[in-house]
Amino acid sequence: MKIVGRLLILFLLFMSLLITFGNRGAVDNYLMTKKLDKLKAQNRGITTENNELKNKIMLLRNNINYIEMIARNELGMVKKGDIVYRWAK
């Protein structure tokens, strides 16, 4: 009977180690949950960036004032009749 009891204890110890540290065990589940949370946060950031880009696309397609602002600020263009000042270095 002592052998059966020891085998049962060894079996239970082995199973508890397997459940805790094995593939799809408690530790693996914790790590996967953390990874999933990180991926969800990354996904939210990409979704926000996509929405901002969609808004910019709509402005570039439909708003002439926005196009003019981009041309002036980012491309350095000027409109006919504007006075251009050059800074001497």
Percent of the chain with pLDDT over 70: 99
Q: How many residues does the chain have?
A: 89
Please tell me the pTM assigned to this model: 0.60
- Using one digit for the tens of pLDDT, what is the confidence trace for 3-46? 888 888 888 888 888 788 778 888 888 999 999 999 999 999 99
The two tokens of residue 29 are 């589940």
More confident residue, 53 or 24: 53
Angle among Cα 14, 19, 22 to the nearest 5 degrees reads 90
